[in-house]
Structures are given as structure tokens and as C-alpha cells.
Amino acid sequence: MTGRKRFKLAFALRASVAFCLGVMPAGLALAQSEGGLFAPRIVINGQIVTNYEFEQRVKFLSALRVPGDPEKEATEGLTTDRLGAQEAKRLEIKLTDSQIEDGMREFAGRANLDVPAFVKAIGEEGVEAETFRDFVSAGLLWREVVRKKFGNAVRISEVQVDRAMAEAARKPDVRLLLSELVVPVPQGADPSDVLAEVRDLKENIAAEGGFASAARKYSAAPTAERGGRLDWLTLSNLPPAITDELIGLSQGEVSDPIVVPQAVVLFQLNGLSDLETPQPTEVKVSYAQFSLAPEEEAATVLSQADGCGDLYPMARDLPAERLKVTDETPMASVPQDIGLALAKLDPGEAVLRERDGYREILMLCLRNGVMAEPEAGPAEPQAGDDAAAGGTQAEADAPKPEEGAAGEGEQVKRDPLRETVRGQLGNRQIAALADAYMEELRSEAIIETP
């Protein structure tokens, strides 16, 4: 697969994924030697997950490049898939072919591909089409289970939205002082081999306490010469999937290996500090990628570019693909390797990156934090303004017409920010209920690892 195809697959799926490629990692080889591809890897309430399913899940997760340990995530994901499917059967929930096909289209669309192109791309990574279908089916089944169980249980009132917005406005942002150790995946190499090496490296670091010396010896990042030490980074500027891996670390602790396109990364947390500014509800970035010709000097280009606007004249007579500018995009949608690089930059700053067979200049054009506006208390609603509730679940809690909401026949103008916050609160409640539900199923299950 070319570097550009790998890039297209590198999108974040926050809920259930992390990954590995090509040749089987050591754990898989051991599993197969102990019983073959179709021997049990896990048994959940008497239902078998085979070594083959485990191998396929690891490869599939790896192709998507989500941070984390692919083998750990594959074990966790296949276990929850089985428990969810068993609960769906108990509740007599079934999926139609149309639902599954729609789910596959939606999933592939996140990588800007149709289903045949997506299947072809993951097939080049050794992933069968049926693995993709099973993965999507399991997620859809669990969603239907959660919907049936809790669909009418979540009600978000205007007061809850007010409180959440005020809290977001008060909550300080956080800065992290990190060290990084970046081990590249050579072109054409199997990332699972590098992942296994980084796992071993982490164990040795933990035993010896030598992150800085290991970074000097093994890291390919420019920070290697100073032991991997980074400057302070603002938490909200990092890709959300990576912040999830970092926020639970204690001082001095090393993260699990984080798989990003063309590299595996370890982080060590050295310090944590609150900022005086409030934490944005969302960060959006604009950035430019300028591909260099083999004979072109990066220093020459950078010396002529103080911002993204200076790149356009340089690219005027070049093929269109040499300069790619991505306008305001939520950090959650930015590929993790790019997001991590952008988090270290201020607008107008750039970094040289080695890609599959070419070099590119990555420049941050703009970074915007979307802030929730504080509300001192319930405002006096005006007829036709945004004081009325939005969303079916909150209708019972919405102000009545006599309280100043829009009267009969009038259109209620909804505040997009309030609706975003309302959706976030609802999703958070549903996710918490679903997590508790799954933990209950897990605690009652008989799970064996032969």
C-alpha cells in the first residue's frame, strides 16, 4: 500500500479500536503454535473466539492506526463483541442486511472511501472482508442493545446545558510536560515487528528508569539528542485519541505504545500544570502539506515562508498534489501523526517530515478553540429566541410558552453551541450507561483463556 493510501486509512475511532500489520506478532505466532488458527483463543460463556479471529482483529485494528496496544485492544474488543451479541440474542435483536451494508458504508466513508475501495485497502494489509463485516455488525448490534435498554432514559434539561456551559467556561486547560520516544516503521516493514520491539523497550525502561537514555539511543525524533524532552504542550491541542492515552498517566509513568502512521511512540509524563485560560470544547486546525522534490532543499522553502499564504506562490506552477491545504478541521478528525506534529507548532511554524518515498513540509496555518460561553444564570427568555429546548428528550423540561418561549406558530431559533453541548451531554450519559451495562455483563460472564 502506498503512503497516501495509508494516510487515508489513518482516522480516529474513539470507542473501540487499535492496530497491527502483515507478519504476525510474537503473541500470535505463539497462539498458533499452541493449537492452530482455529483453536480457541478466548471462550466467553461457552462461545469460542479462535486464534484466526484474534489475528484478523489485530491486523484490522493495525490498518486503522488507532493508538494503543493492538493485541490488548483485540482481546478486549472481541470479548465485548461476544458479550454484546449474546445479549442481543437474549433480547431478540437482529440486524438486517441493509443495516449492515449502511454501517459498512458509513465506516468506510470516514476514510473517504467507498466499501469496495476500503475492503481492497485493508485486504492489502491481510484483512478479510468478512472481518470488516463482523466488526461493523458487532458495533451495530451493541448500539441496538443500548438503544433498546436506555433509549428513553436520557433527558437533558436546559438547566443541565446551562451548568455544563458554565463549567466548561470555568474549567482550566491543562499543559503536559512530556518526553517522547519515536521508533519509525521502515518503508515496507511490518509494523507489528516494531510494536513488539517497543513493548520490550518499555518494559526495560520501566525496570531501569532510563527513558532519556533510551530516547537518545532509539528515538528517530529531533528531540532524541535531549532525551526526548518536549516543551510544554497544551492538552486540548493534542489529538483526542492520544490525550486519552496520556491523561491517566502519573508523573514519571510511561504510556503504552501508541501506533501512528509509520511509527510507534512512547511518552513519559514529566509534569502537569493548569492554565489560566478555560479549556475549549473543541479545537479546530488549518494546516498545509507541501511535498518537496528530491532535489529541493527544505531550508530554502522554509526561509521563504512565514505562513501558509507564502506557500501558494511557490506551488503556482507545480502539480496540484504538491500543495494540500486542509481548512478548519476538528482535531479529532486529523490523522494522529499529523495532529501530534501540529500540537508542537504555533501558527506559521513548520516541520519537515519523512513520508513513504518523499519529504513534506507540514505547516500549521491556524488553530481555533471553540469556547463554551458562560451563563450567569437562567436568562430572561424572549419570544422566538434560543431559550427554548432542543431535542426530543428535553421537550418536557423546555420552558412553557408563558415562560417566554416562542408562542404557537412561531419558529424557535436554536443556538448551535447549546445544541452541541446538549448532544455531548446526552452521548456522555448513554456512554456511561452502556459502559456500566457491559461491565455488568462481563462480571457475570465465564471468560476462559485456554
Condensed to tens digits (0 to 9), the pLDDT of residues 314-352 reads 888 888 888 999 988 888 888 888 999 999 999 999 999
Q: Are 355 and 3 in contact (CB under 8 A)?
A: yes
What is the dihedral angle through the alpha carbons of 395, 398, 404, 409, rounded to the nearest 10 degrees?
A: -10
pTM > 0.95: yes or no? no
pLDDT tens per residue across span 353-369? 887 778 899 999 988 87
Q: For residue 438, what is its C-alpha cell?
A: 457491559
- Helix runs in 65-114, H state only: 70-90, 97-109
With cell 451493541, the residue in question is 142
Evaluate if residue 383 carries a pLDDT over 50. Answer: no
Q: Please state at what angle helix 51-64 crosses helix 115-123, rounded to 10 degrees.
A: 110
The answer on pLDDT for 4 being more than 50 is: no
SS3 of 285, please? Answer: strand
Q: How confident is the model at residue 67 (pLDDT cuts 50, 70, 90)?
A: low
In this structure, the strands spanning 172-184 and 47-50 are: unpaired
Check residues 253 and 262 and name the one with the higher pLDDT. 253
Single out the residue of 237, 261, 263, 242 nearest to residue 349, CA to CA. 237
| pLDDT tens track for 74-122 | 999 999 999 999 999 999 999 999 999 999 999 988 777 889 999 998 9
Residue 278's SS3 state is strand
- Decide which of 3.90.470.20, 3.40.50.2020, 3.40.190.10, 3.10.50.40 is the CATH code for 172-278: 3.10.50.40
pLDDT value of position 168: 60
The pLDDT of residue 394 is 35
CA distances from 31 to 135, 170, 192, 265 (A): 21, 51, 15, 26
* CB-CB contact of 178 with 267 (8 Å): yes
pLDDT at 167: 66
Into which CATH architecture does domain 3-150 fall?
Orthogonal Bundle (1.10)
Whether 230 contacts 277, CB under 8 Å: no
Q: What is d(CA 334, CA 342) in angstroms, rounded to the nearest whole number? A: 10
CA–chain centroid gap for 150, Å, is 25
